[in-house]
Amino acid sequence: MATQVVLMGLGAIGRLIARAVLTRSDLEIVAAIDLDAQRVGRKLSDVVDAPAPDVIVTPDAGAALKKAQHGVLLHATGSRLDRVEGELAQALSAGLAVVSTCEELSYPWLRHPEIAERLDRIAERRKVALLGTGVNPGFVLDRLPATLGNVVGRVDRVQARRIVDARTRRLQLQRKVGAGLNEEEFDRGVDDGTIGHVGLMESAALAALGVGLEVDEVDEDIDPVETDEDMQGEGFTVPRGGIVGVHQVARAFHDGKEVAHLELTIALGAPDPRDEIELIGDPGIRCVIPGGVPGDKATAWSVAHAAPLVASAEPGLITVLDLPAGR
Amino acid sequence: MATQVVLMGLGAIGRLIARAVLTRSDLEIVAAIDLDAQRVGRKLSDVVDAPAPDVIVTPDAGAALKKAQHGVLLHATGSRLDRVEGELAQALSAGLAVVSTCEELSYPWLRHPEIAERLDRIAERRKVALLGTGVNPGFVLDRLPATLGNVVGRVDRVQARRIVDARTRRLQLQRKVGAGLNEEEFDRGVDDGTIGHVGLMESAALAALGVGLEVDEVDEDIDPVETDEDMQGEGFTVPRGGIVGVHQVARAFHDGKEVAHLELTIALGAPDPRDEIELIGDPGIRCVIPGGVPGDKATAWSVAHAAPLVASAEPGLITVLDLPAGR
């Protein structure tokens, strides 16, 4: 029997998740939740622009969650755990397993240990699992290094970088990495959390733990990337010298020693886009994905593929390190 | 408490496994089994040339297996499942989980469905798990492609190649790939199973299944690699035109359509050694490990890292596709 799926959040990522789910015959969408007035009351098939079961988008989470039995909520409403805790708790309390794109949920003990504890307790009590995943965090800079760690010995440090040419991404992401802002606007955006990628520190912790290292501290730097030639965004141009994106470095430490060093560059025109993972140790190993794993689509696929696994996983709050290799 | 470990087989790979286990504080070697008269009766620390617990190598499997409680047997005595079935069955019957380097055990349903069924039944009855793993089969051409499958959509075909310069490997492996043989000797070796890598067909099946494809047929070709210049092995030279190694292609099919295509080249002087994995689909993904994962050592590490996971896994015969990412 197919696993019953409830969707929550039908923004750009949520719609991609819906389409990914529709390709899997072992998943069946039974309800879809969204608060946006432009989507409420419409047929899911119209909202996601694909043939879909006869489901009307509703703002009523309580009623929608009741439609899934032993099913799973696929959740894509936000990056910050403190803002989505209520939504996750409600779904778990209703007896649904949850897979969420919430970046901070990928390793929630880092920034929100109390929320992690509360959600874990509900999940254990209702005997369902809860997972935060995606491509980044969730795969390229954490799950993949951890997987590579299985064929090497002592690891001293995980070193990885992901370089994304933001010209290949949607306007919303180009704006989120600060393309076209001046320095003051960029700094203000970093301070209020609207500029920059969420989840790199979580990846650093996961990557280190995944290869068997301990972590007692994680930090992060965020800087603007400036262009040395005029650069074209989606409907805007950044002149030479202007800001075209973001460069972030997250580092995990144990006893003052760096055990993970992750770099992320997302910028219009970023050269040689790729994912590159290196485990420094004896012996070391290096792995390259030329071009890099595509962002939004890969996140949607990873959520859809995780759905049946999480629906049948041991109860509680889990991470991508607990997921099996096969989809 | 540390997981108790019994070693069986202290050949080149078995000794590397022992040394890998000795680096993990959560594993404790309590017994070591080997039939070789040169090793029986000697201290384990002498045999593996590393500080080790006070264990004497014994040929008596029955007595040795009794020393581990809820522990795990790390088994490295052979590639062919029909020759090692008895050893595996004995350990499972004694209540030990088993991790084995037996290549055919990585996906035993392919060539030995009846043996797989028998071992699975014993494992289920004794509530322990049984896994065949290593670097190849077990990682590069199966578990890694399956892991990559989590971030892509429809996969039409898994395409992967592993190229190993056998000059970097031990004499035993150079001989096993036919280096220095003439054509007649090579062909005879392929026929009697002494020449060539075991496990590529198993990897092809695992890789396809791991990305969600079905498999109803698997085949394999084995051909010699000839050198166009004089080539140096461990203590022997192959003149220009001679055989320096093996090129194997394993293919998995579903309904006559190729769903996995794996190529393996192990030859003295093989150019551009690497592991390269490609998932052909929408979207596709390509991943390269320059130089390739080192063979014997990586196998030993993968066995050691799998030991605690398999000791606590659900009972029965499992595959690397069931293992979590983190070690």
In a domain, B15, yes or no: yes
**Min Cα–Cα distance to chain B from A192, Å:** 31
Q: Measuring CA to CA, how many Å separate B113 from each of B214, B309, B314? A: 17, 25, 20
Tell me the pLDDT tens digit for each residue of B174-227. Answer: 999 999 999 999 999 999 999 999 999 999 999 999 999 999 999 999 999 999
Residues B289 and B183 in one domain: yes
Within 58-97 of A, beta carbons closer than 8 Å to B belong to: none
**Min Cα–Cα distance to chain B from A277, Å:** 10
Mutate to test the interface with B, among A106, A135, A150 (most CBs of B within 10 A): A150
Structure tokens at B263: 């190529």
The model's confidence at residue B51, banded by pLDDT at 50, 70 and 90, is very high
How many cross-chain Cβ pairs, A to B, lie less than 8 Å apart? 128
What is the four-CA torsion angle of A115, A119, A122, A128, rounded to 10 degrees?
Answer: -170
Amino acid identity of residue B269, one-letter, is: G
Q: How far apart are CA A205 and CA A196, in angstroms?
A: 18
| pLDDT at residue A318, as a whole number | 98
What is the four-CA torsion angle of A18, A22, A28, A31, rounded to 10 degrees?
Answer: 30
A20 pLDDT higher than 80: yes
Residues A92 and A64 in one domain: yes
In a domain, B164, yes or no: yes
The SS3 of residue A78 is coil
Query: Does B13 reach chain A within 8 Å, measured CB to CB?
Result: no
**Min Cα–Cα distance to chain B from A300, Å:** 8
Backbone angles phi, psi at A251, to 5 degrees: -130, 135
| pLDDT at residue B1, as a whole number | 82
What number of residues does chain B have? 327
Residues B246 and B114 in one domain: no
**Min Cα–Cα distance to chain A from B148, Å:** 8
- A contacts of B144 (beta carbons < 8 Å): 147
**Min Cα–Cα distance to chain A from B227, Å:** 29
Rounded average pLDDT over A19-43: 97
Mutate to test the interface with B, among A151, A209, A282, A314 (most CBs of B within 10 A): A151
Cβ proximity of B204 and B262 under 8 Å: yes
**Domain CATH for B28:** 3.40.50.720
Query: Does B305 reach chain A within 8 Å, measured CB to CB?
Result: yes
In a domain, A64, yes or no: yes
**Min Cα–Cα distance to chain A from B302, Å:** 5
At residue A110's C-alpha, the angle toward residues A109 and A112, to 5°, is 65
A327 pLDDT higher than 80: no
Rounded average pLDDT over B96-104: 98
Query: Does A294 reach chain B within 8 Å, measured CB to CB?
Result: yes
Burial label for B54, CB within 10 Å (0-12, 13-18, 19+), is exposed
Q: How far apart are CA B150 and CA B301, in angstroms?
A: 24
In a domain, A223, yes or no: yes
Residues A83 and A174 in one domain: no
Q: How far apart are CA B65 and CA A266, in angstroms?
A: 55
A60 pLDDT higher than 90: yes
**Min Cα–Cα distance to chain A from B40, Å:** 28
Q: List CB contacts of B124: < 8 A, sequence separation 6 or more.
A: B315, B316
Within 13 Å of residue B265, how many CA atoms lie on the same side as its CB? 19
Q: Identify the closest residue of chain B to A20 by CA–CA distance.
A: B153
User: Across the interface, which of B152, B293, B320 has its CB nearest the CB of A285?
Assistant: B293
The SS3 of residue A106 is helix
Cβ contact A291–B286 (<8 Å): yes
Residues A272 and A168 in one domain: yes
Peptide bond into A224 cis (omega under 30): no
| pLDDT at residue B164, as a whole number | 96
Cβ contact B139–A153 (<8 Å): no
Amino acid identity of residue B201, one-letter, is: M
- B contacts of A131 (beta carbons < 8 Å): none
In a domain, A327, yes or no: no
- B contacts of A277 (beta carbons < 8 Å): none
Residues A11 and A120 in one domain: yes
Q: Beta strands A154-165 and A274-282: pairing type? A: antiparallel
- A contacts of B155 (beta carbons < 8 Å): none
**Min Cα–Cα distance to chain A from B301, Å:** 5
- B contacts of A324 (beta carbons < 8 Å): 321-324
- A contacts of B143 (beta carbons < 8 Å): 147, 150, 325
Query: Does B107 reach chain A within 8 Å, measured CB to CB?
Result: no
In a domain, B327, yes or no: no
Cβ contact A327–B301 (<8 Å): no
Q: Which domain holds residue A186?
A: 143-292
Backbone angles phi, psi at A247, to 5 degrees: -125, 120
- A contacts of B211 (beta carbons < 8 Å): 326-327
Cβ proximity of B286 and B159 under 8 Å: no
Smallest CA-to-CA distance from A14 within A60, A97, A62, A78 is with A78
Cβ contact A147–B151 (<8 Å): no
CB atoms within 10 A of CB A46: 11
**Domain CATH for B208:** 3.30.360
Would you list the DSSP string of B28-73? EEEEEE---TTTTTSBHHHHHTS---S-B-BS-HHHHHTT-SS-EE
Tell me the pLDDT tens digit for each residue of B122-179. Answer: 999 999 999 999 999 999 999 999 999 999 999 999 999 999 999 988 888 899 999 9
Query: Does B136 reach chain A within 8 Å, measured CB to CB?
Result: no
Q: Identify the closest residue of chain A to B206 by CA–CA distance.
A: A326
Q: How far apart are CA B292 and CA A286, in angstroms?
A: 9
Query: Does B25 reach chain A within 8 Å, measured CB to CB?
Result: no
Quickly tell me which residue has 């009972």 as its tokens.
Answer: B315
Q: Measuring CA to CA, how many Å separate A296 from each of A84, A161, A187? A: 20, 18, 25
Burial label for B67, CB within 10 Å (0-12, 13-18, 19+), is middle
Structure tokens at B43: 């201290």
Query: Does B309 reach chain A within 8 Å, measured CB to CB?
Result: no
Residues A33 and A98 in one domain: yes
Q: Which residues pair with A157 in a beta bridge?
A: A280
Smallest CA-to-CA distance from B241 within B297, B200, B312, B182 is with B182
The total of structural domains in chain B comes to 2
Cβ contact A153–B301 (<8 Å): yes
User: Across the interface, which of A211, A287, A325 has its CB nearest the CB of B143?
Assistant: A325
Q: Identify the closest residue of chain A to B289 by CA–CA distance.
A: A287
Residues B170 and B285 in one domain: yes
Residues B151 and B288 in one domain: yes
Within 13 Å of residue B87, how many CA atoms lie on the same side as its CB? 29
Q: How far apart are CA A181 and CA A186, in angstroms?
A: 6
| pLDDT at residue B305, as a whole number | 96
Residues A182 and A50 in one domain: no
Query: Does B151 reach chain A within 8 Å, measured CB to CB?
Result: yes
| pLDDT at residue A316, as a whole number | 98
Mean pLDDT score across all residues of chain B? 96
Cβ proximity of B287 and B141 under 8 Å: no
| pLDDT at residue A295, as a whole number | 83
Rounded average pLDDT over B27-43: 98
In a domain, A269, yes or no: yes
- B contacts of A294 (beta carbons < 8 Å): 283
Cβ proximity of A240 and A229 under 8 Å: yes
B327 pLDDT higher than 80: no
Residues A315 and A247 in one domain: no
In a domain, B177, yes or no: yes
Question: Which residues in B85-95 are b (16+ Cβ under 10 Å) and which e?
Answer: bebbbbbbebe
A78 pLDDT higher than 80: yes
Q: Identify the closest residue of chain A to B299 by CA–CA distance.
A: A151
Query: Does A209 reach chain B within 8 Å, measured CB to CB?
Result: yes
Query: Does A153 reach chain B within 8 Å, measured CB to CB?
Result: yes
Q: Which residues pair with A208 in a beta bridge?
A: none
CB atoms within 10 A of CB B13: 19
Query: Does A322 reach chain B within 8 Å, measured CB to CB?
Result: yes
Tell me the pLDDT tens digit for each residue of A207-266. Answer: 999 999 999 999 999 999 999 999 999 999 999 999 999 999 999 999 999 999 999 999
Tell me the torsion sign for CA atoms B99, A313, A34, A118: negative
pTM for this entry: 0.96
**Min Cα–Cα distance to chain A from B299, Å:** 7
- ipTM > 0.90 for the complex: yes
Residues A248 and A159 in one domain: yes
Q: Identify the closest residue of chain A to B19 by CA–CA distance.
A: A153
